[in-house]
Amino acid sequence: MTTETATESVVSLTESAAAQIKQMIANVPENAGKTLRVYVESGGCSGMQYGMTFDERRPDDVTGEFFGSDVLVDPFSANYLRGCVVDFKDELTDGGFKISNPNAKQSCGCGKSFEA
């Protein structure tokens, strides 16, 4: 169920994450026609932090499709995100999107930043 423009998956989505992304695209008019982008940038308490936004595809993006939802990753972020899994939990405590990164030397307690 996965198609990538690269030879291996950079970021994958769980079924629950894919379902939540589809719902966010359908229910928020400004997300219409856009794709989930997962990226990293400098910041956070551990040096690098994760980000997610709905965006247009760029020519050098690595793309993937999981359970009917697409994901975009730029080449810079791909270096830090290779092998990551994005999950979603609909829970009152500790709910929301979570990124599991096998490349992180350490992550902060909030789970939104990491050390490469």
Q: To which H or E segment does residue 27 belong?
A: helix 15-27
**DSSP sequence for 61-97:** -EEEEETTEEEEE-HHHHHHHTTEEEEEE--SSS-EE
Q: Are 101 and 116 in contact (CB under 8 A)?
A: no
pLDDT for 72 equals 96
* CATH number for the domain whose boundaries are 11-105: 2.60.300.12
Between 6 and 99, the higher pLDDT residue: 99
Say if strands 11-13 and 84-89 run parallel, antiparallel, or are unpaired: parallel
Domain boundaries, the chain: 11-105
pLDDT in tens, 73-89: 999 999 989 999 999 99
